[in-house]
């Protein structure tokens, strides 16, 4: 049982860390500088951590930039205020995401102007259905070996869809439940302390107020775990944090 719990928590937090650190704070917002080699390490780590639910960085970046520009309006690709439940929101988000990858949806040029990390070969390989099934099979084999009984298999769908599930929790809860520090003209909210399980991503209200600030925590009682780890990486010079604009220090 311990092996399954550790595997679940390990997959949850590793997947979430690279989601937040690489897909969100680098691919979408470029909150830090890093060398090309480290960028590749983060890229591969994101793919390995998300595995069967790998989110291709360029599609993620474009869609997330749209989310900020159109937050909680009809053009927002995943506002909870335009869907009747979280499942419908996820379904629509996946259709838009796939559209960017197949070329069916062409992004507005304003969303591709800033740097987007692209690694064509890994994107194609990681996005391929066979690769996704392979990761899913690995998770299942682990459960076959270590799960004490079949009830634990109910956790498997979370492993299969880890990336989109974490994104859906942030987008749904982060724009629906919690408190606001700022009036951003949208429905973005903050959650603490249980937002710790989303590693800082549930401070959506703070983040929409200052989208280029790598630190999502603004009040003394808020803690952004991803930023805490990023400060460590900055100290050992793996990344170089870009100072936040002055107006976001309020």
Give the footprint of Zn ion on this chain (CB under 5 A): 204
- To Zn ion, the closest distance from the beta carbon of 186 in angstroms equals 8
Contact 215, 242 (CB under 8 A): no
- To Zn ion, the closest distance from the beta carbon of 31 in angstroms equals 9
User: Which residue is closest to Zn ion by CB?
Assistant: 204
- To Zn ion, the closest distance from the beta carbon of 219 in angstroms equals 18
Judged by CB, which is closer to Zn ion: 52, or 213? 213
- To Zn ion, the closest distance from the beta carbon of 142 in angstroms equals 32
Judged by CB, which is closer to Zn ion: 162, or 170? 170
Residues 6+ apart with CB under 8 A from 17: 49, 199, 226, 229
Give the alpha-carbon dihedral of 194, 45, 60, 206, to 10 degrees.
30
- To Zn ion, the closest distance from the beta carbon of 28 in angstroms equals 6
Q: How many CB atoms lie within 10 A of CB 146?
A: 15
Judged by CB, which is closer to Zn ion: 89, or 147? 89
Judged by CB, which is closer to Zn ion: 126, or 200? 200
The CA-CA-CA angle for residues 47, 48, 54, to 5°, reads: 40
The CA-CA-CA angle for residues 163, 131, 146, to 5°, reads: 70
Q: Which of 46, 51, 33 is closest to 135 using CA atoms?
A: 51
Judged by CB, which is closer to Zn ion: 136, or 174? 174
């Amino acid at each position: 049982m311990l092996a399954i719990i550790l595997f679940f928590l390990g997959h949850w937090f590793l997947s979430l860390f690279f989601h937040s650190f690489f897909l969100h704070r680098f691919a979408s917002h470029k909150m830090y500088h890093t060398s090309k080699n480290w960028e590749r390490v983060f890229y591969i780590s994101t793919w390995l951590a998300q595995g069967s639910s790998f989110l291709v960085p360029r599609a993620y970046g474009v869609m997330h930039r749209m989310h900020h520009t159109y937050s909680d309006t009809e053009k927002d690709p995943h506002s909870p205020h335009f869907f009747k439940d979280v499942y419908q929101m996820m379904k629509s988000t996946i259709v838009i995401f796939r559209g960017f990858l197949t070329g069916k949806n062409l992004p507005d040029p304003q969303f591709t102007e800033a740097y987007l990390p692209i690694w064509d070969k890994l994107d194609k390989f990681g996005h391929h259905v066979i690769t996704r099934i392979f990761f899913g099979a690995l998770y299942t084999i682990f459960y076959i070996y270590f799960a004490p009984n079949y009830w634990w298999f109910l956790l498997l769908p979370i492993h299969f869809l880890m990336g989109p599930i974490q994104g859906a929790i942030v987008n749904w809860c982060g724009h629906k439940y919690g408190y606001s520090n700022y009036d951003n003209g949208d429905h973005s909210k903050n959650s603490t302390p249980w937002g710790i399980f989303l590693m800082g991503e549930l401070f959506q209200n703070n983040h929409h107020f200052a989208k280029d600030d790598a630190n999502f925590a603004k009040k003394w009682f808020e803690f952004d775990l991803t930023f805490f780890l990023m400060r460590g990486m900055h100290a050992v010079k793996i990344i170089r944090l870009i100072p936040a604009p002055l107006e976001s220090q309020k």
